[in-house]
Structures are given as C-alpha cells and as structure tokens.
A = this chain, B = another copy of it.
Amino acid sequence: MARIDGRKYNDLRPLTLTPGCSLYAEGSCLIEQGNTRVFCTASVEEGVPFHKKGSGEGWVTAEYSMLPRANRTRSQRDISRLKLAGRSAEIQRLIGRALRSVIDLRALGELTITVDCDVLQADGGTRCASITGGFIALALAGKFLRDGKYLKKNPVIDYVAALSTGIIPLDGRDSPILDMCYEEDSSALADFNLVMTGAGSFVEVQGTGEGRPYTADEFSNVLRVTTPALQTIIGRQKEIVTL
C-alpha cells in the first residue's frame, strides 16, 4: 500500500524554486513544495542588533509567519491577538539558526540580513521549505552584496536545506516517509526535521514522538534515508545560485 498521494516512502514532492519573486528585496525566492508555498525575501540593512554592536561581525535573522488563510481554516493574525504565535516563535528561531550556520558573519561586516518567510499556502513542511527557500533568498542577497562591491566576497559559505521525515504505519510496519504532506503529518507516529549543509553535516536535527516514543535505531534509520534526499534538494539549490 502506497502513501496517500501514491508516493513511495522516499519520494519527494514536486519542488519549484523561483528566485527573484520580489522586485525590491536584495534576494528572494518563492518555494513551492507540493502544495506548500512560501514567499521568502532577504533584506539587507545597515547596523546590527545590540549584542553584536562593535564586534565587526554581521547578523542574520529570520521571521516566519503564515497568511491568515494559508491553512484549511482561517487563523487570526498575530496582531489581532497581540501575540506572536508560540509556534511561529519556535520556527523562526530554527530558521535563523539554520541560516546562520552557513554564514561567515565576519565577512558580512556590520550588516543585518533579515530573511522573511511568509507562508502563502501550508500543506506540511513549511518550516523546512522556509529554510530551503530562505537559503536561496539569503545567498542571492550575498551575491548582490558581492556583485555590487559592497562586500569582497559572498558571506554565504555553504548550502543548507531542510526536510521533514515521519514514521507512519506503511505496508504493515512502521516506516519512515519523506517530505510529508499535511495529512500525513497529522497522523505520523513521530516527526523529524533535518537540516543539512552542502558538506553533508547536520546543523539541526529535531525529532518528536507524537503518537509514541521512538528508538535510537529508528532515529538512525531516519537520518540514513533522509540524507540522500537532502542532497537532491541541495542539488536543486546549486542550479539556482552559485556561491
């Protein structure tokens, strides 16, 4: 028995990366991963946050938000509740850490790059798509800074992409499945987000037992099957932007 949309356990959803989706941002990319769509822009501003003042280093930060009707039902805007959704806070911290892991902050100098990831449509995997697409926006902003002679080199020093993998009952046993859509995600026994660099190392791995705890072996298995898929995705990034 196959997955809900007929994919095999390690099939990825169709992936489209559209760089330059914004006329004004220094770097931008619309990422479409199945029905998930995230509008990513990278904005360069002078100056750095307080904790970096005078360090000679720059900063990269991320903001993540969903349009109110990105989901099957409408959600209130953060500003209507006067609170940033806890889930968004958690996700944008993850995106920020992932993107900073491939930046040479010293080469950036005292500039701040803010990567905005606004989810237009959410069908699972939005945090991973935000990292994969946000990276393109960031790398294009780095290229913009180098090509415009603002910086001597692109401060982005490696690729980084992310993918969600779940464990669900498939063909009679609990199996990892890659790149879950929303419906799969809702019923997964465990849910993993892996963030990998072009060099093949991890900068962030998160695994949550939703339906039940998972074993160290299951965890290793998830890493093993997800790694080649992440390499494929990074391959797609390389087609869009050369560092």
Residues of A within 8 A of B (CB): 22-25, 28, 35, 39, 41, 43, 45, 63, 65, 67-74, 77-79, 82-84, 86-87, 89-90, 92-93, 97, 101, 114, 116, 118, 120-121, 123, 196-197, 199-209, 212-216, 219-220, 223-224, 227
Residue of B nearest to A118 (CB): B67
Distance in angstroms between the alpha carbons of A79 and B79 in the assembled complex: 5
Number of copies of this kind of chain in the complex: 6
Knowing A84-B89, A202-B209 are in contact, say whether A45-B74 is a contact too (CB < 8 A). yes
Residue of B nearest to A114 (CB): B74
Is B203 a contact of A208 with CB atoms below 8 Å? yes
Overall SS of chain A's interface? mixed
Residue of B nearest to A223 (CB): B216
Taking the nearest CB of chain B, how far is it from the CB of A140, in angstroms?
A: 13
Knowing A205-B205, A215-B201 are in contact, say whether A43-B63 is a contact too (CB < 8 A). no
Report which of B43, B87, B207 forms a contact with A205, defined as CB distance below 8 A: B207
- For A220, the chain B residues whose CB sits under 8 A away are 216, 220
Distance in angstroms between the alpha carbons of A82 and B81 in the assembled complex: 10
- For A209, the chain B residues whose CB sits under 8 A away are 101, 201-204
- For A24, the chain B residues whose CB sits under 8 A away are 69-72, 121
Is A43 a contact of B74 with CB atoms below 8 Å? yes
- For A219, the chain B residues whose CB sits under 8 A away are 202, 205, 223
Distance in angstroms between the alpha carbons of A68 and B42 in the assembled complex: 10
Taking the nearest CB of chain B, how far is it from the CB of A121, in angstroms?
A: 6
Taking the nearest CB of chain B, how far is it from the CB of A95, in angstroms?
A: 12
Knowing A121-B23, A204-B208, A205-B206 are in contact, say whether A197-B213 is a contact too (CB < 8 A). yes
- For A23, the chain B residues whose CB sits under 8 A away are 35, 121, 123
Knowing A69-B41, A205-B205 are in contact, say whether A213-B227 is a contact too (CB < 8 A). no
Distance in angstroms between the alpha carbons of A93 and B104 in the assembled complex: 31
- For A118, the chain B residues whose CB sits under 8 A away are 67, 118
Distance in angstroms between the alpha carbons of A200 and B23 in the assembled complex: 35
Distance in angstroms between the alpha carbons of A92 and B70 in the assembled complex: 19
Report which of B79, B90, B216 forms a contact with A90, defined as CB distance below 8 A: B90
Knowing A84-B83, A121-B24 are in contact, say whether A63-B68 is a contact too (CB < 8 A). yes
